[in-house]
Protein backbone atom coordinates (compact mmCIF):
# COMPACT_ATOMS: atom_id res chain seq x y z
CA UNK A 1 0.00 0.00 0.00
CA UNK A 2 2.85 2.36 0.80
CA UNK A 3 4.42 1.65 -2.60
CA UNK A 4 1.12 2.36 -4.35
CA UNK A 5 0.77 5.62 -2.43
CA UNK A 6 4.31 6.67 -3.39
CA UNK A 7 3.55 5.80 -7.01
CA UNK A 8 0.42 7.95 -7.05
CA UNK A 9 2.22 10.89 -5.44
CA UNK A 10 5.13 10.59 -7.89
CA UNK A 11 2.74 10.56 -10.86
CA UNK A 12 1.00 13.65 -9.47
CA UNK A 13 4.31 15.51 -9.05
CA UNK A 14 5.45 14.41 -12.51
CA UNK A 15 2.23 15.72 -14.04
CA UNK A 16 2.55 19.04 -12.20
CA UNK A 17 6.17 19.35 -13.32
CA UNK A 18 5.18 18.71 -16.93
CA UNK A 19 2.48 21.36 -16.77
CA UNK A 20 4.89 23.90 -15.30
CA UNK A 21 7.51 23.04 -17.93
CA UNK A 22 4.92 23.44 -20.70
CA UNK A 23 3.85 26.78 -19.28
CA UNK A 24 7.50 27.86 -19.12
CA UNK A 25 7.97 26.82 -22.76
CA UNK A 26 4.92 28.81 -23.83
CA UNK A 27 6.22 31.81 -21.87
CA UNK A 28 9.51 31.66 -23.77
CA UNK A 29 11.63 30.67 -20.77
CA UNK A 30 14.80 28.96 -21.95
CA UNK A 31 14.81 25.21 -21.34
CA UNK A 32 18.42 24.71 -20.22
CA UNK A 33 18.35 27.61 -17.77
CA UNK A 34 15.04 26.56 -16.24
CA UNK A 35 16.26 22.95 -16.04
CA UNK A 36 19.43 24.07 -14.25
CA UNK A 37 17.42 26.11 -11.74
CA UNK A 38 14.99 23.25 -11.21
CA UNK A 39 17.82 20.80 -10.57
CA UNK A 40 19.45 23.25 -8.16
CA UNK A 41 16.18 23.65 -6.24
CA UNK A 42 15.72 19.87 -6.20
CA UNK A 43 19.25 19.31 -4.90
CA UNK A 44 18.79 21.92 -2.19
CA UNK A 45 15.46 20.42 -1.15
CA UNK A 46 17.00 16.92 -1.02
CA UNK A 47 19.95 18.22 1.02
CA UNK A 48 17.67 19.96 3.53
CA UNK A 49 15.45 16.87 3.75
CA UNK A 50 18.46 14.60 4.34
CA UNK A 51 19.91 16.95 6.96
CA UNK A 52 16.56 17.18 8.74
CA UNK A 53 16.37 13.37 8.77
CA UNK A 54 19.87 13.18 10.27
CA UNK A 55 21.42 11.52 7.22
CA UNK A 56 25.07 12.11 6.37
CA UNK A 57 26.55 12.85 2.97
CA UNK A 58 29.17 10.46 1.63
CA UNK A 59 31.33 10.45 -1.47
CA UNK A 60 33.53 7.59 -2.57
CA UNK A 61 36.47 8.72 -4.69
CA UNK A 62 36.59 5.39 -6.52
CA UNK A 63 36.45 5.15 -10.32
CA UNK A 64 33.28 3.02 -10.24
CA UNK A 65 31.45 5.51 -7.99
CA UNK A 66 32.58 8.59 -9.92
CA UNK A 67 31.79 7.03 -13.32
CA UNK A 68 28.34 5.84 -12.21
CA UNK A 69 27.56 9.24 -10.70
CA UNK A 70 28.75 10.99 -13.87
CA UNK A 71 26.60 8.67 -15.99
CA UNK A 72 23.53 9.43 -13.86
CA UNK A 73 24.15 13.18 -13.97
CA UNK A 74 24.79 13.38 -17.71
CA UNK A 75 22.48 10.73 -19.18
CA UNK A 76 19.99 10.09 -16.37
CA UNK A 77 19.32 13.73 -15.57
CA UNK A 78 20.62 16.43 -17.90
CA UNK A 79 20.09 14.71 -21.28
CA UNK A 80 16.97 12.83 -20.17
CA UNK A 81 15.25 15.97 -18.90
CA UNK A 82 16.45 17.98 -21.89
CA UNK A 83 15.05 15.38 -24.29
CA UNK A 84 11.75 15.14 -22.44
CA UNK A 85 11.33 18.91 -22.18
CA UNK A 86 12.09 19.29 -25.89
CA UNK A 87 9.43 16.68 -26.65
CA UNK A 88 7.06 18.44 -24.27
CA UNK A 89 7.55 21.74 -26.10
CA UNK A 90 6.99 20.14 -29.50
CA UNK A 91 3.94 17.93 -28.88
CA UNK A 92 2.44 19.24 -25.62
CA UNK A 93 2.15 17.99 -22.07
CA UNK A 94 -0.69 15.53 -22.65
CA UNK A 95 0.96 13.56 -25.47
CA UNK A 96 4.47 13.78 -23.97
CA UNK A 97 3.09 12.23 -20.80
CA UNK A 98 2.71 8.92 -22.63
CA UNK A 99 6.47 8.53 -22.33
CA UNK A 100 5.71 7.57 -18.73
CA UNK A 101 4.02 4.40 -20.00
CA UNK A 102 7.04 3.24 -21.97
CA UNK A 103 9.78 4.05 -19.43
CA UNK A 104 8.85 1.24 -17.00
CA UNK A 105 8.55 -1.26 -19.86
CA UNK A 106 11.99 -0.33 -21.21
CA UNK A 107 13.35 -0.51 -17.64
CA UNK A 108 12.00 -4.07 -17.32
CA UNK A 109 13.74 -5.11 -20.54
CA UNK A 110 17.03 -3.55 -19.42
CA UNK A 111 16.70 -5.14 -15.98
CA UNK A 112 16.09 -8.54 -17.55
CA UNK A 113 19.14 -8.15 -19.78
CA UNK A 114 21.59 -6.85 -17.19
CA UNK A 115 20.24 -7.58 -13.71
CA UNK A 116 18.63 -11.00 -14.04
CA UNK A 117 15.02 -9.84 -13.71
CA UNK A 118 12.69 -12.84 -14.10
CA UNK A 119 9.53 -12.26 -16.10
CA UNK A 120 6.31 -13.38 -14.44
CA UNK A 121 2.69 -13.51 -15.47
CA UNK A 122 1.92 -10.39 -13.43
CA UNK A 123 4.67 -8.54 -15.31
CA UNK A 124 2.93 -9.21 -18.62
CA UNK A 125 -0.46 -8.31 -17.15
CA UNK A 126 0.96 -4.97 -15.96
CA UNK A 127 2.50 -4.27 -19.36
CA UNK A 128 -0.77 -5.15 -21.10
CA UNK A 129 -2.76 -2.85 -18.82
CA UNK A 130 -0.28 0.00 -19.42
CA UNK A 131 -0.39 -0.42 -23.19
CA UNK A 132 -4.17 -0.79 -23.23
CA UNK A 133 -4.51 2.43 -21.25
CA UNK A 134 -2.25 4.17 -23.74
CA UNK A 135 -4.28 2.86 -26.70
CA UNK A 136 -7.54 3.99 -25.09
CA UNK A 137 -6.19 7.48 -24.45
CA UNK A 138 -4.63 7.87 -27.90
CA UNK A 139 -7.53 6.55 -29.97
CA UNK A 140 -9.71 9.00 -31.81
CA UNK A 141 -13.15 9.57 -30.40
Q: What is the 3-state secondary structure (H, E, C) of the chain?
A: CHHHHHHHHHHHHHHHHHHHHHHHHHCCCCHHHHHHHHHHHHHHHHHHHHHHCCCCCCCCCCHHHHHHHHHHHHHHHHHHHHHHHHHHHHHCHHHHCCHHHHHHHHHHHHHHHHCCCCCCHHHHHHHHHHHHHHHHHHCCC
pLDDT tens-digit series, residues 61-104: 999 999 999 999 999 888 988 888 888 888 877 777 777 778 88
Look at the pTM and tell me if it is higher than 0.85.
no
Averaging pLDDT over each range in 19-28, 48-57, 91-100, 128-137, which range is the top one? 48-57
Per-residue pLDDT of 101-136, as tens digits, reads 788 888 899 999 999 999 999 999 988 988 888 788
Amino acid sequence: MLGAAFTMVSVLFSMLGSLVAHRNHDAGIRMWQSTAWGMLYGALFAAVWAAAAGKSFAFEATPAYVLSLTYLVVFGSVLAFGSYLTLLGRIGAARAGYVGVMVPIVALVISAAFEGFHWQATTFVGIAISLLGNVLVLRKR
